């Protein structure tokens, strides 16, 4: 029992049913990084991941200089590239890719929910405070993005301007035959 406790402290992990709660102490050496496979999660030693953040157990990769906030939830098989940030009450579904410099969410009342298999481009800003002048500080505002979207580089998608509204972004496909 004592050996198992020491091993879990060494790894810096606390396991929950489907999520991994990562502490700042989770690190891997370069040799471990090259040997890892898609079945394990990896957090680069230069990433800053809050101990209360919920990180998927399988296939998550968080690169150097990324930040993950206390209320963030990252699903299985997500990849955060160098310098990307997930903050506030933000949920990232399974299989999402967040490219370099992208910012997801904000430390404001409300929530940003991003579905599965989305690609967020370089330096995109998603789920931050709206730019509408009707917005009142402290309002709980929301953004919901569906599944299988590609949000290109430098794009910005903001939360709603009123607490009774929600900005919704989803892929609409029209088949012409």
pLDDT digits (tens, 9 = 90+) for 109-146: 889 999 999 999 999 999 888 777 777 787 788 889 99
pLDDT of residue 80: 98
pLDDT given for residue 132 in this prediction: 74
CB-CB contact of 87 with 117 (8 Å)? no
- Domains of the chain (ranges, CATH numbers): 42-175 (2.160.10.10)
The CA–CA distances, whole Å, from 17 to 14, 28, 57, 89 equal 10, 23, 9, 20
What is the structure's pLDDT at 38?
Answer: 58
User: Closest Cα to residue 53, out of 77, 75, 38, 29?
Assistant: 75
Q: Determine the pLDDT at residue 97.
A: 97
Residue 7: which H helix or E strand, with range? helix 2-11
pLDDT, position 162: 67
Of residues 98, 96, 90, 105, the one with CA closest to residue 120: 98
Positions of the chain with pLDDT under 50: 1-36, 172-177
Structure confidence at residue 33 (pLDDT): 43
Which pLDDT score, from 0 to 100, does residue 138 have? Answer: 79
Q: How many CB atoms lie within 10 A of CB 77?
A: 19
Q: What's the rounded Cα separation, in Å, for the pair 18 and 63?
A: 21
Q: What is the pLDDT of residue 123?
A: 97
């Amino acid at each position: 029992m004592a050996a198992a406790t020491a091993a879990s402290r060494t790894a810096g992990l606390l396991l929950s049913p489907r999520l991994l709660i990562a502490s700042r102490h989770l690190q891997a050496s370069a040799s471990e990084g090259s040997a890892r496979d898609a079945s394990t999660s990896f957090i680069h030693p230069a990433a800053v991941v809050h101990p209360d953040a919920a990180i998927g157990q399988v296939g998550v990769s968080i690169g150097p200089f990324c930040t993950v906030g206390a209320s963030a939830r990252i699903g299985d098989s997500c990849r955060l590239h160098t310098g990307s940030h997930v903050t506030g009450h933000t949920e990232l579904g399974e299989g999402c890719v967040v490219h370099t410099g992208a910012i997801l969410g904000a430390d404001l009342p409300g929530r940003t929910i991003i579905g599965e298999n989305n690609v967020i481009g370089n330096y995109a800003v998603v789920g931050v405070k709206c730019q509408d002048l009707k917005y009142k500080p402290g309002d709980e505002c929301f953004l919901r993005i569906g599944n299988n979207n590609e949000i290109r580089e430098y794009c910005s998608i903001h939360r709603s301007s009123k607490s009774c509204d929600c900005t919704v972004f989803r892929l609409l496909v029209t088949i012409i035959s």
